[in-house]
Amino acid sequence: MTTVVAQGTFDLLHPGHVHYLSDAAAMGDELHVIVARGQNVTHKPQPILPDRQRREMVGALAVVDEAHLGHPDDIFVPIERIDPDIIALGYDQHHDEEKLERALDARDIDCEVRRASARESEAEELCSTGRIVERILERRS
């Protein structure tokens, strides 16, 4: 059995998230998703939704076998526990694949790192939490 891990913030689920997780699920037999804790999100605005709510929403998706909250201090703790064969990164996630592979090697975590494909979207479709928030602010102001 091939175990895949995907990870992200997953604030305000949208079609881009569904595509990423569907693509990740297709890479193996079992998909585990690690949902970042808000306190660990430093590369973009803090999530709007609470940690547990984001985990529950991701876990409700049919392609997800299990959703986990990230560790508050060490992002590699859940990866070590799950012991995946593949880590699937979103096509536009900020992670540096080579740096991630070196960190995995340093922790003796033997898995492949792959990127999910980009999703082709319709003109009116919003596949970004930031754009969804902007649209809400425009229309509610």
The string of pLDDT tens digits covering residues 47-103 is 999 999 999 999 999 999 999 999 999 999 999 999 999 999 998 888 888 999 999
pTM (whole model) above 0.85: yes
Quote the pLDDT of residue 23.
Answer: 97
Quote the pLDDT of residue 126.
Answer: 84
Bind-site residues: 9-10, 14-17, 92
- Determine how β-strand 66-69 pairs with β-strand 3-8: unpaired
Would the pLDDT of 36 be above 90?
Answer: yes
CATH 3.40.50.620 for domain 3-140, yes or no, is yes
- Average pLDDT, stretch 117-126? 81
Please write the tens of the pLDDT for every residue from 1-26.
999 999 999 999 999 999 999 999 99
Contacts 24+ apart (CB under 8 A), 122-130: 125/15, 126/14, 127/14, 127/15, 127/16, 127/19, 128/14, 128/16, 129/9, 129/11, 129/12, 129/14, 129/48, 130/44, 130/45
Bind-site residues for ATP: 9-10, 14-17, 92
Would the pLDDT of 31 be above 90?
Answer: yes
- 97 - beta bridge partners? none
